[in-house]
């Protein structure tokens, strides 16, 4: 009788541990979900101007990325740069109308979001593509060798670095 009771207690502990672990992992995943960015246009009047640099930024709606993009938008607003900010989920692989394409997303499950990996691989070596990724570990663990990426953790002390690197990429002709 005592043996049956011990087995039941052990099984109950195992079941509770599995449920608790699953709940924690579920909460962790949900807390890391990135929102869908709303389309924005900076310097709309420059859209059809040949003298303006045309930039598209594919990104996500998350406090860290929004803070950086707000700083980037302030800088760009005073320059001859036409910029569109689009949701990363709607990334287009046709770069022909852009001088610069910025991919600014988060690595989740070891990969960048949506179809961005396929687009990145399609445009390997294209100097108009800049890739800026956030990740808890600070690295893209499955990063292909031929892809030049700036990756770092989403920490406040990294926001200035992201802003400066994105602006430097946009300004580098």
The structure tokens listed for 116 are 């961005």
Q: Three-state SS for 169?
A: helix
What are the boundaries of each domain within the chain?
1-31, 35-171
The structure tokens listed for 63 are 């406090």
Residue 105: left (phi > 0), alpha (psi -120 to 50), or beta? beta
Q: Tell me the pLDDT tens digit for each residue of 89-142.
A: 889 999 999 999 999 988 876 777 778 888 988 998 899 999 988 886 666 766
Class of domain 35-171: alpha beta
Contact 91, 103 (CB under 8 A): yes
- Please say if the pLDDT value at position 76 is more than 90: yes
Contact 49, 15 (CB under 8 A): no
């Amino acid at each position: 009788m005592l043996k049956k009771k011990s087995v039941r207690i052990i099984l109950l502990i195992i079941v509770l541990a599995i449920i608790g672990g699953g709940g924690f992992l579920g909460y962790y995943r949900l807390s890391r979900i990135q929102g869908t960015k709303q389309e924005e246009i900076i310097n709309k009047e420059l859209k059809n101007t040949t003298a303006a640099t045309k930039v598209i930024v594919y990104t996500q709606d998350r406090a860290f990325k929004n803070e950086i993009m707000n700083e980037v938008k302030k800088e760009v607003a005073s320059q001859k740069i036409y910029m569109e900010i689009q949701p990363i989920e709607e990334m287009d692989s046709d770069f022909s109308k852009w001088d610069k394409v910025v991919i600014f997303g988060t690595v989740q499950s070891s990969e960048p979001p949506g179809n961005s990996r396929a687009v990145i691989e399609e445009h390997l070596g294209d100097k108009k593509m800049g890739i800026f990724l956030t990740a808890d570990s600070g690295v893209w663990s499955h990063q292909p060798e031929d892809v030049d990426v700036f990756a770092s953790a989403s920490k406040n002390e990294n926001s200035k670095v992201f802003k400066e690197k994105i602006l430097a990429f946009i300004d580098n002709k």
